[in-house]
Structure 1
Amino acid sequence: MADASPRTDTSTDIETDEKRMFEMGTSNALLASDSSDRSKDKTSDQKTLRRLAQNREAARKSRLRKKLESSRLKLTTLEQELQRARQQGIFISSSGDQSHSLSGNGALAFDVEYARWLEEHNRQVNELRAAVNSHASDNELRVIVDGVAAHYDEIFRLKGNAAKTDVFHMLSGMWKTPAERCFLWLGGFRSSELLKLLVNQLEPLTEQQLMGICKLQQSSQQAEDALSQGMEALQQALAETLAGSLGPSGSSGNVANYMGQMAVAMGKLGSLEGFLRQADNLRQQTLQQMHTILTTRQSARALLAINDYFSRLRALSSLWLARPKE
């Protein structure tokens, strides 16, 4: 009995130590497992972040490629349109003229729009010519004639918008061929002269129709004369304004006078757009009134005659530019 007590105490201590060691081992195992889980989670998060970053970079590169492809497509389209414009005899300056190249690309944009307009106009005229030659009905002709007339309205709208950007380009007619510019008046054709050409092409006309055409020609002539006088007065006023700023150099008073006179001249130039708009309105109204005087078939023949006249002017320009030069 006496010998048993010490052995029991020792056994109890051993069991306690073993229990502590087991608990410590279990705790360490749990800590190690938790650390391993955290390490795995951290590794997984890093992989996710890298994958997200790679996806963002791939998306950015894809957007950049699409933008570049779109830009190349637009550039190719513009080059093709400009090439068509050159082939159709439209002048596009490449001489570095600042008034043409630095006007916000408004002049260049109009040249492209005009080339597109002329291409569609030629298509409509070919359709009209085929209808006339095949003796189409008046109803069929009326639809085509109205389409051609509406297409003329479109060019007047385009010119009005372009004049707000570069009125000098529109007035000078640099978007037309040289032979057309030879007969240019305020950025376009003279309605009165065109009516004179049509009278001989539309015979026979009734007496009432002939009187209507003559009155329209006279009223157009009067309006043209009034606009021409207005332009001459504007040019004279501009010349006098600019001459008023001339004087000996080196004088501060003359510098101030120069700046004031140039401001006045700038104000006078603002009326140029109004002259161009009035001239185009006259042309547009003349075409509309011409259709009210003529029959549908006569209107078709008139539109064909107008187109043939300007086509011959463009052909004349091409022949002149291609002539042998000694």
Structure 2
Amino acid sequence: MSSFSFAGFYESWFDHLQHLLHQLSAATRPPKTAEENHKLLILIDKVMAHYDDYYRTKSVAAQNDPLQMLVSPWATTLERSLHWIAGWRPTIAFHLVYTESSVLFESHIIDILRGVRTGDLGDLSPSQFRRVSQLQCDTVKEENAITEELSEWQDSGSEMIEGVAEMEEKMEVLGKIITKADDLRLRTLKSVVGLLTPQQAVDFLIASAELLSGIRSWGINHDRRRSR
């Protein structure tokens, strides 16, 4: 897959993400029946399959042209400024959980003090907080290890002028580093969703999609102003 065809894929993928965001936002929360809860689960599976499709396609593109994936010309300058190895930093997922949990907790503080359970991200249990915290620690370790791999790859830049074979080998290594980073991104997303109830998972997926959409929208407007 060429960088051009991946750019087209990304535009289509992102458009469909907006469609899924609309479905997530329209979902009944909290679910009042087993049927409504089942519908949330189906919707969550649909969104996760969409992310699966993205990273599966990106993995192929990364092996074919890792430099283009690293540069990401289909992204805005703002998005690229926030990139960690051709994509979002996995630990952002935890910041989203904590931020949304705090905001929702404060907005429902009166109900919570009265013993009313909201069931959303503001209603995370102590056990959930512990598991999220442990997952965050594990993810940070993996992030650091992959960052070190990229650093070593960059330090070997002087070796790239030795010949075509060496250059091809270096590009193959870069492709594997990008794929490894994407694998961590996807595993982190799935792990966080797995720690949440269906209602909380929908809240989290909405926050994630809105963050991506908001940054991209702001970045597009910024790039348009710069090009005038």
TM bucket normalised to smaller? 0.7 to 0.9
Q: Are residues 325 and 109 of structure 1, via their aligned partners in 2, closer, same or farther at CA, if it must alter by over 3 Å?
A: closer
Contact 1:173/1:184 (8 A) holds in 2: no
List runs of 5+ in structure 2 lacking aligned partners: 101-120
2:138 to 214, 219, 224: 219
Read off the aligned partner of 1:162 and give its amino acid letter.
A
Task: Provide the rounded CA distance (Å) in 2 between the counterparts of 1:263 and 1:166.
Answer: 16
**What residue number does 2:43 align with?**
144
Task: Provide the rounded CA distance (Å) in 2 between the counterparts of 1:126 and 1:325.
Answer: 31
Report the structure number with the largest CA radius of gyration.
1
Q: CA RMSD in A?
A: 2.1
**What residue number does 2:180 align with?**
278
Deviation at 1:222?
0.8
Q: Does 1:167 align with 2:69?
A: no
List runs of 5+ in structure 1 lacking aligned partners: 1-104, 246-259
SS at the partner of 1:203?
Answer: helix
Q: Does 1:291 align with 2:187?
A: no
Read off the aligned partner of 1:226 and give its amino acid letter.
A
2:24 to 128, 140, 153: 128
Q: Does 1:311 align with 2:213?
A: yes
Q: Are residues 268 and 325 of structure 1, via their aligned partners in 2, closer, same or farther at CA, if it must alter by over 3 Å?
A: closer
Q: Does 1:116 align with 2:18?
A: no
Q: Are residues 265 and 318 of structure 1, via their aligned partners in 2, closer, same or farther at CA, if it must alter by over 3 Å?
A: closer
Task: Provide the rounded CA distance (Å) in 2 between the counterparts of 1:188 and 1:293.
Answer: 23
Deviations 1:211-250 (A, max 9, x none): 11111111111101000011101110123x25xx6xxxxx
Contact 1:227/1:275 (8 A) holds in 2: yes
Size of the alignment, in residue pairs? 205
Q: Does 1:194 align with 2:93?
A: yes
Q: Are residues 227 and 325 of structure 1, via their aligned partners in 2, closer, same or farther at CA, if it must alter by over 3 Å?
A: closer
Matches within 5 A, 1:68-87: none
Task: Provide the rounded CA distance (Å) in 2 between the counterparts of 1:133 and 1:179.
Answer: 33
SS at the partner of 1:186?
Answer: coil
**What residue number does 1:301 align with?**
203
SS at the partner of 1:191?
Answer: coil
Task: Provide the rounded CA distance (Å) in 2 between the counterparts of 1:234 and 1:134.
Answer: 48
Q: How high is the TM-score relative to the length of structure 2?
A: 0.82
Deviations 1:108-158 (A, max 9, x none): 111111111112221111111101468572111111111001110000011
Q: RCO (CA 8 Å, sep 6+): is it higher in 1 or 2?
A: 2
1:232 to 151, 162, 165: 151
Task: Provide the rounded CA distance (Å) in 2 between the counterparts of 1:324 and 1:117.
Answer: 26
SS at the partner of 2:204?
Answer: helix
Contact 1:196/1:217 (8 A) holds in 2: no
Task: Provide the rounded CA distance (Å) in 2 between the counterparts of 1:132 and 1:318.
Answer: 32
Read off the aligned partner of 2:209 and give its amino acid letter.
N
Q: Are residues 224 and 324 of structure 1, via their aligned partners in 2, closer, same or farther at CA, if it must alter by over 3 Å?
A: closer
Q: How high is the TM-score relative to the length of structure 1?
A: 0.59
Contact 1:192/1:218 (8 A) holds in 2: no
Task: Provide the rounded CA distance (Å) in 2 between the counterparts of 1:133 and 1:291.
Answer: 16
Contact 2:63/2:176 (8 A) holds in 1: no
Read off the aligned partner of 1:223 and give its amino acid letter.
E
Q: Are residues 299 and 158 of structure 1, via their aligned partners in 2, closer, same or farther at CA, if it must alter by over 3 Å?
A: same
Read off the aligned partner of 1:222 and give its amino acid letter.
K
Task: Provide the rounded CA distance (Å) in 2 between the counterparts of 1:213 and 1:117.
Answer: 28
Read off the aligned partner of 2:53 and give its amino acid letter.
E
